[in-house]
Amino acid sequence: MAKPNATPMRVIEETPSYWRAVFDYPPFNVVDGDVFQALQDLLVRLETSETLRVVVFESALPDFYLSHFDLTGKLGNVMTGIGPSGLPVLMDTFVRLTKVPVVSLAKIRGCVRGVSSEFVLACDMRFASRENLKLGHPELGVGLHPGGGGTERLPHLVGRGRALEIVLSANDFDGDTAERYGYVNRSLPDAELDGFVDALARRIGSFDRPALGAAKHLVNEVSLLSADWLLAAFTSFGKALGWPAAQNRVKAVLERGLQSDTTFEKNWPEVLGDLGVPKQ
Amino acid sequence: MAKPNATPMRVIEETPSYWRAVFDYPPFNVVDGDVFQALQDLLVRLETSETLRVVVFESALPDFYLSHFDLTGKLGNVMTGIGPSGLPVLMDTFVRLTKVPVVSLAKIRGCVRGVSSEFVLACDMRFASRENLKLGHPELGVGLHPGGGGTERLPHLVGRGRALEIVLSANDFDGDTAERYGYVNRSLPDAELDGFVDALARRIGSFDRPALGAAKHLVNEVSLLSADWLLAAFTSFGKALGWPAAQNRVKAVLERGLQSDTTFEKNWPEVLGDLGVPKQ
Amino acid sequence: MAKPNATPMRVIEETPSYWRAVFDYPPFNVVDGDVFQALQDLLVRLETSETLRVVVFESALPDFYLSHFDLTGKLGNVMTGIGPSGLPVLMDTFVRLTKVPVVSLAKIRGCVRGVSSEFVLACDMRFASRENLKLGHPELGVGLHPGGGGTERLPHLVGRGRALEIVLSANDFDGDTAERYGYVNRSLPDAELDGFVDALARRIGSFDRPALGAAKHLVNEVSLLSADWLLAAFTSFGKALGWPAAQNRVKAVLERGLQSDTTFEKNWPEVLGDLGVPKQ
């Protein structure tokens, strides 16, 4: 049944109606150009399949869902290329995921930060492990800000106050808090998470495609922001990547162990308030 | 004090300021054309009363608030007639309820699904029994989608992710979950529900009408969507009613006992993922 | 370290990046023209400081954060003067606070009602004492309605149903309920509140100003309403202040002990449903 890919993400066709997309890109599932390419390839399949109703996004690594944007620069064409929607590849990936008439469920365990938070925010629903979740936006801590939809999607989901807390604190949010804030749909006991999401996916997989497509479209019409707002954040983020102060902070976290040391990779937002680099 | 009506809904004038509207339409309080006619008649009274401040909507049946849209077709002019606002009667009823300068409180026990969820979403506030609530949108499970405001009102209330879960899962939501999602204002222990809502209604009933009207109007201005969005969903729903796949699913749930068997009527969303009809 | 002011609010410069603004205006921290003047003076400093990143607003009085609008009429130019933004001073104060590129944290203990609720709603984040919070909008109970942003900011934060409950019930909300509704970011055990907010402020104070400013601006772009809506509410509130029925209710609560009797001041929303004045 499994159909492994030679990419950072394997697609398992559970049934013609229900697929699982499994991120498997050790050691940390860092989000680089190859991850976006795999998502772009999958999007074409989602957009053209005549049988698919639902896709579950999950990770093969117990402690990392998708960790964060690659800060060593292996971003491929993510910032500069243009996708089929006419938007930059990073934005194009998330925007098309929100609009495709296939239901996307993020089943989340482990670390999910920055652009990875923005990926799950672009999924239709988010279900997290209550005991095993570190979800957040650490960008401010490295002198940057979210650029892939976080500043746009969070306020509509959790309200302005909690959106500002998530973005400006650069802290991790655990399962209980993420559920209470509405950042995820639900946090479930880890032992129940797989069963809950699988049952939901099979149920949705049994429904009619025209009805699913129409319902998602109607909800989208009143809940998705115009791409103009997303583009403003993306453009601002692109500039911020060139700020010397941000580059100093990025250098500091890489030297401390980001993308190389497992313990640091799990916990790095903890030190962001005390990086020891000059602030701007 | 009670003033029983020969309609599906009795109106009890507790005081000149505070009325209770009691759905009493055994066996299941199914929402048909007569229920809408009773609501239309009440709306005229709400719009013209010079003393009324607040109305509580409740049910005389312990396990059914309003169960769901009549799926046997007894819809009267609900889909085809035009109400005083110029909108189709179904929409007109809900839109006028949101705008009338009388405060509407839904006091909810039992099953409240589909169009009945849309009725309580059009009320100003929703208070539910913690132990006795089955609230949701099963339309997807019968090949349809919400058409009376569910897809429009839910995202603004619970966020896009939870709105998609409610609509696309076609599942019931219990008192705890409905409160956590913000689908209802509060779920209260069943034994406290009547006292809480009665005290709130009497309190609001003691306030000045100009102040209540101005405050509700101001909140409405920034929280009600334009009728265009509601009309798009209504029109799409009207088309979906004619889909052969939807008609097959509706036939299947009627044959299994919907609108006839009490146990099935209470629990039917449970089987929607396994109806055994060909999917489209 | 402390730099006491001869105003209702002292500013303590903890570090060049992080200030605390302490309301200290016994006996009740009533919001009058002098409080707005102090906020206006502080706003100029926030807008022109080149080092500041974050300001915490707190109270020196254990049971009153800011109690409510002065109902004896000592409002200075709050309703009639025009601030630097071109808006009336009351609105100008709150609008500039939402837009200034300095992060504002409300650390809340005690009573916070009416215009004071609107002040904390204009702050970027709200953290409350779980055991010691009475937050709400009692305006309806004195024949008025919110006029400083409550009817505009609440629906986007807590949804239409809970916003209508808060505004139309004129009741107090405690720490648990305020957190559950999303009215505050979090309620924390009172013993942990100071430590939590101080750590967050120092963390934000360590980040780069351009990144903080850009992130807050991006969130604002999709979460702040146009001033037109705020102005409509302000204008309607100004008229309501002249309603005879409202003046009767205000007179009644002042006679019962508002702004003079500590016990009444703490608990006055309790009696608003039973004021014993003729209703309009």
| Residues of chain B neighbouring A185 (CB-CB closer than 8 A) | 161-162, 165
Q: Do residues C52 and C40 lie in contact, with contact meaning Cβ atoms separated by under 8 Å?
A: no
**CA of C32, closest CA in chain A: separation in Å?**
26
- pLDDT for B55 equals 98
Q: How many Cβ atoms sit within 10 Å of the Cβ of residue A62?
A: 11
- Residue A212's H or E segment, with its range, is helix A209-223
Whether B210 sits inside 8 A of C165 (CB atoms) is no
Helices within chain B (DSSP H only): 33-48, 89-99, 115-122, 150-158, 160-169, 175-181, 190-205, 209-223, 227-240, 244-256, 262-267
What proportion of chain C, given as a percentage, has pLDDT over 70?
98
Contact yes or no for A269/A116 (Cβ under 8 A):
no
Distance, in Å, from the CA atom of C245 to the CA atom of A117, rounded to the nearest integer, reads 52
| pLDDT score at A7 | 84
Question: In A, which residues are within 8 Å of C156 by CB distance?
Answer: 159-160
Chains touching C, CB cut-off 8 Å, 3+ pairs: A, B
Of C58, C56, C57, C54, the residue nearest C17 (C-alpha) = C54
Stretch A208-216: mean pLDDT: 98
For residue B143, is it left (φ>0), alpha (ψ between -120 and 50) or beta?
left
Torsion, CA A252, CA A254, CA A258, CA A261, rounded to 10: -110
Q: Do C211 and A167 touch (CB under 8 A)?
A: no
Tell me: pLDDT of C178 over 60. Answer: yes
Say if residue C2's pLDDT is above 60.
no
Catalytic residue among C118, C152, C179, C265: C118
Q: Which member of A154, A229, A274 has the closest CB to residue C221?
A: A229
How many angstroms away from the CA of A146 is the closest CA of chain B? 20
Structure-block tokens of residue B36:
């809408």
Do A232 and C218 touch, CB atoms closer than 8 A? yes
Please tell me the total number of residues recorded for chain B in this structure: 280
Instruction: Return the HEC string of chain C.
Output: CEECCCCCEEEEEEECCEEEEEECCCCCCCECHHHHHHHHHHHHHHHHCCCCCEEEEEECCCCEEECCECCCCCCCCCCCCECCCCCEHHHHHHHHHHHCCCEEEEEEEEEEECHHHHHHHHCCEEEEEEEEEEEECHHHHHCCCCCCCHHHHHHHHHCHHHHHHHHHHCCEECHHHHHHHCCCCEEECHHHHHHHHHHHHHHHHCCCHHHHHHHHHHHHHHHCCCHHHHHHHHHHHHHHCCCHHHHHHHHHHHHHCCCCCHHHHHHHHHHHHHCCCCCC
What is the per-residue pLDDT for B163?
98
Chain C contacts of A245, Cβ < 8 Å? 208, 210
Question: B58, B107 in Cβ contact below 8 A?
Answer: yes
Determine the distance in angstroms separating the CA of B279 from the nearest CA of chain A, rounded to an integer: 5
A contact chains, 3+ CB pairs < 8 A: B, C
Residue C177 to residue B188: CA distance in whole angstroms:
12
Give A224→chain B minimum CA distance, Å: 8
Q: Do A215 and B168 touch (CB under 8 A)?
A: yes
> Considering only CB atoms, which chain B residues are within 8 Å of A199?
273
| Chain A residues within 8 A of B233 when measuring between CB atoms | 218
Cα A270 to Cα A202: distance, rounded to the nearest angstrom: 39
C72 touches chain A (CB under 8 A): no
Contact A130, A188 (CB under 8 A): yes
pLDDT value, residue B6: 54
> Of these residues, A13, A50, A58, A118, which one is catalytic?
A118
| Residue B111: closest CA among B244, B233, B223, B267 | B267
A54-59 and A103-113 beta bridge pairing: parallel
Q: Are B129 and B191 in contact (CB under 8 A)?
A: no
Catalytic residue among B13, B50, B58, B118: B118
The secondary structure element, H or E, covering residue A12 is strand A9-15
The rounded distance, in Å, linking the Cα atoms of A124 and A109 is 17
Q: Which of C180, C202, C196 is nearest to C127 (CA)?
A: C196
Q: Are B143 and B250 in contact (CB under 8 A)?
A: yes
The pLDDT-based confidence of C6 (bands split at 50, 70, 90) is low
B158 neighbourhood in chain A, CB within 8 Å: 182
Cβ within 8 Å, pair A152-C224: no
Q: Do B222 and C161 touch (CB under 8 A)?
A: no
pLDDT band at A2, cuts 50/70/90?
very low
* Predicted pLDDT of residue A6: 54
Is any Cβ of chain C less than 8 angstroms from the Cβ of A191?
no
pTM for the model stands at 0.97
- C-beta atoms of B229 and A222 within 8 A: yes
Q: CB neighbours of B41 closer than 8 A, spacing ≥ 6?
A: B7
Q: Which tokens belong to C109?
A: 């203990």
How far apart (Å, rounded) are the C-alpha atoms in residues B262 and B184?
25
pLDDT digits (tens, 9 = 90+) for A18-75: 999 999 999 999 999 999 999 999 999 999 999 999 999 999 999 999 999 999 999 9
The type of residue at B123 is: C
Task: Write out the two tokens for C79.
Answer: 């309703």
- Note the pLDDT of residue B83: 97
Alpha-carbon B239 to chain mean position: 21
Which chain C residues are closer than 8 Å to B179 by Cβ? 180
Report the residue of chain B nearest C227, measured CA to CA. B222
User: What's the mean pLDDT when you consider all of chain A?
Assistant: 96
Residue B210 near residue C280, CB atoms below 8 Å: yes
Hey, of A140, A231, A235, which one would you mutate to test binding to chain C, going by the most C CBs within 10 A of its CB?
A140
Looking at the complex, report in whole angstroms how far the Cα of residue A57 sits from the nearest Cα belonging to chain C.
27
CB atoms inside a 10 Å sphere around CB C12: 16
User: Is the CB of B214 inside 8 Å of chain C's CB atoms?
Assistant: yes
Cα–Cα dist B138/B167, whole Å: 7
In terms of CA atoms, which chain C residue is nearest residue A167? C215
> Does A139 participate in catalysis according to the annotation?
yes
Would you call C145 and B214 a contact, using CB atoms and an 8 Å cutoff?
yes
Q: What pLDDT, in 10s, does the model give residues A149-182?
A: 999 999 999 999 999 999 999 999 999 999 999 9
Please tell me the predicted confidence (pLDDT) of residue A3: 37
Give the closest residue to A144 by CA, choosing from A240, A280, A251, A248.
Answer: A240
- Please give the mean pLDDT across all residues of chain C: 96
Tell me the sheet residues that pair with B11.
Answer: B3, B21
Q: If DSSP codes are grouped into helix, strand and coil, which group holds residue B86?
A: coil
SS3 at position A277: coil
- Measure A275 CA to nearest chain C CA, in Å: 9
Give the ipTM of the model, two decimals please: 0.97
Question: Are residues B236 and B146 in contact, defined by beta-carbon separation less than 8 angstroms?
Answer: no
Q: Which residues from B are below 8 Å from C225, CB to CB?
A: 222
CB contact under 8 A, C164 and B221: no
Contact by Cβ (8 Å): B211, C140: yes
Asked if the model's pLDDT at residue A1 lies above 90, the reply is no
Of C156, C204, C214, the CB nearest to A145: C214
* Interface check C165 vs B, CB under 8 A: yes
Q: Is A128 left (phi over 0), alpha (psi -120 to 50) or beta?
A: beta
Does the pLDDT of residue C121 top 80, yes or no?
yes
Residue C3 predicted with pLDDT over 60: no
- What mean pLDDT do residues C219-231 have? 96
- For residue B137 the two structure tokens come to 């949108």
Give the span between the Cα atoms of B128 and B187, in whole angstroms.
5
Pick out chain B residues at pLDDT < 70.
1-6
